[in-house]
Structure 1
Amino acid sequence: MSTSHSLTTQTVLVTGGARGLGRAITETFLREGATVVINYRSSAEAARELAEQHPGRAVALQADVRDREAVNTMVQQAQQQLGAPITTVVNNALVDFVFNGDARTKADELEYPELAAQFEGTVAGALHAIQAVLPGMREAGFGRIITIGTNLFQHPVVPYHDYTASKAALLSLTRTFADDLGPEGITVNMVSGGLLQTTDASAATPDAVFEGIAAGTPLRKVTTPEQMADAVLFFASVWARGVTGQNLIVDGGLVKG
């Protein structure tokens, strides 16, 4: 199998890459020899600490993914510092959301600004990152775009209305972009997890919820950020070269299809 696009040759942008799931994704790519741009919005210390552990193969750069110009500037800085275009982007950033079912907004209370806020972070953020890296992917003749979804599409056991609606829109974007960019050798796929144990966003989740989820899975375990990161790695690897427009559910078998 050709290694021309192996992980060791890829420069990967992980949005929200310093904490939680993003950190697990960053560490997984670094472990496999990739070069990583660790994007952060406010977690400067965590991002820089992680980058310093991998001199020459990681840089920490600040940008709010909702700000198109900030994202463009970040990508330009990354390419200048690393001397190579970004070939792979993982749209992981989750803006201001906490998984606490007791505190969620119910159907009769939901207001559109809550939906719009999640669309800004999830959909606009992904759009900005993808469009910023596309010139570099085209220069390289290769690209891997991975988005982060949710198994709540199929199993809305907790109706996080704003979060799930924004991720559903991101799934649509994943599939339409896969068709649009496929002729250029760029694949676009989504990895959808369930509740992860544990990230900053899921820290507020009661233990009883985790226990209930574990009991409902064939593996009798709650999915970890590291297991999600492994699936992200697959979509970036040469092993997924014939796969695009797909949504892979990684939740221990809780949801089927």
Structure 2
Amino acid sequence: MILKDKIILVTGASRGIGAAVAKKAASEGAFVIVNYLRNEQLAGQVVSEIEANGGQAAPLQADVRDEVQVEEMINQIIDSFGGIDVVVNNALNHYTFNPKTRKTAWELEWADYDQQIAGSLQGAFHICKAAMPYMKQQMSGRIINIVSNLIDFPVVPYHDYSTAKMALLGYTRNLAKELGAFGITVNAVSPGLTYPTDSSSETKEDVREMIIGLTPMHRLAMPEDIAGAVLFLASDWASFITGQCINVDGGLVMN
């Protein structure tokens, strides 16, 4: 088991990519904190499934945009488990990938950008700021931020979402530079359109087929595909990898 006895916090883990990461991490021996915003029932279902398969997990509510709630959550993790080894910043403000309902560049207001930046960048900032002192003290840690391949290939220009994710990548690389001396790695995983998730539920079939046609592996990403890359970066196999962004999109983006 590549994550045996590791304490892992996955934000936004009640469904979609976050739930897949939580389940896969638990199957590899980690104790997983399933963070959620509102849906206690869904988070509980993720925990129940993990436990039914012999894993360990606990649900923990906090709005990652709220600094006080995040500090309380991290303190509770430290008090209960004695440390924190990995954080996966997956939470975001809800976004719908539907080209027909997206706002164009001339329709957007700064409030649209602000909302997405708060969900992606501000949320990750609060989590990292609260977790860093404990990781520094133990001279080890893994931080993994979920971005998007739209930052490299805006096949549909979701301006506010993509801009927030690009900001998160910049934050990732600056953290990697500063935290490497403490044995902490900071990386990003960049999914392509991932189906099925809540965000992709309104993506029309013609758009999905267009993306599949551009993708060398001729399918869309699934949540489990993203989980595999996250677990690799969380494991000792990736102990000398930091400041990197791994595209998980079947080859749609190559760099």
TM (normalized to structure 2)? 0.95
The equivalent position to 1:151 in structure 2, one of 143, 149, 152, is: 149
1:67 aligns to what?
Answer: 66
Partner Cα distance (1:21, 1:195) in 2: 11
Instruction: Using the TM superposition, give the Cα deviation of residue 66 of structure 1 relative to its aligned residue in structure 2, in angstroms.
Output: 0.3
- Find out whether 1:226 has 2:220 as its counterpart: no
Does residue 34 of structure 1 match 2:33?
Answer: no
The 8 Å contact of residues 92 and 147 in structure 1, kept in 2 or not, is answered as yes
- Tell me if the contact between 1:95 and 1:122 (Cα under 8 Å) persists in the aligned partners: yes
1:106 alignment partner in structure 2: 104
Q: Distance in 2 between matches of 1:158 and 1:228?
A: 20
| Corresponding letter in the other structure for 1:108 | W
**How far apart are the structure 1 equivalents of 2:154 and 2:49?**
39
Task: Tell me the SS of whatever aligns to 2:188.
Answer: strand
Distance in 1 between residues matched to 2:131 and 2:167, nearest whole Å: 21
Matched AA of 2:246: L
Aligned-residue identity in percent: 44
CA positional deviation for 1:139: 3.0
Question: Aligned with 2:4: secondary structure?
Answer: helix
1:140 aligned residue = 138
Per-residue deviation, 1:84 = 2.4
1:10-36 CA distance string (max 9 Å, x none) = 111000011111101111101111111
Paired amino acid for 1:93: A
The AA in structure 2 aligned to 1:17 is A
**The residue matched to 2:18 in structure 1 has which SS?**
helix
> Map of 1:186-197 to 2, 5 A cutoff?
186-197=184-195
Unaligned runs of 5+ in 2: none
Corresponding position of 1:24: 20
Report the AA paired with residue 86 of structure 1: I
Length-normalised TM-score, structure 1: 0.94
- Equivalenced residue count is 252
Q: Which amino acid aligns with 2:44?
A: R
In 1, Cα distance between equivalents of 2:57 and 2:78 = 12
**Which SS does the other structure have where 1:12 is aligned?**
strand
- RMSD value over aligned CA atoms? 1.4
Whole-angstrom CA distance in 1 between matches of 2:137 and 2:39: 31
C-alpha deviations, 1:97-148, integer Å up to 9, x for none?
1111111110111111100111111111000001111122123221000001
In structure 1, C-alpha distance between the alignment counterparts of 2:244 and 2:45, rounded to whole Å: 34
Query: Contact (CA 8 Å) 1:19, 1:43: kept in 2 or not?
Result: no
Report Cα offsets for 1:187-233 as digits up to 9, x if no partner. 00000011101101111111221122112111111111100110011
Q: Which amino acid aligns with 1:243?
A: I
User: Aligned-pair distance for 1:49?
Assistant: 2.2
- Post-superposition CA distance 1:220-250 (Å, at most 9, x none): 1111110011001110111111100001111
Measure the CA separation in 2 of the matches of 1:49 and 1:8.
Answer: 22
> Quick one: distance in 2 between partners of 1:199 and 1:21?
7
2:113 to 89, 112, 115: 115
Q: Of 199, 202, 211, which aligns to 1:201?
A: 199
Cα pair 1:188 1:245 within 8 Å, conserved: yes
Q: CA deviation at 1:80?
A: 2.6
In 2, distance between residues paired with 1:121 and 1:85? 25
Greater CA drift, 36-45 or 56-65: 56-65
- Gaps in structure 1 of 5+ consecutive residues: none
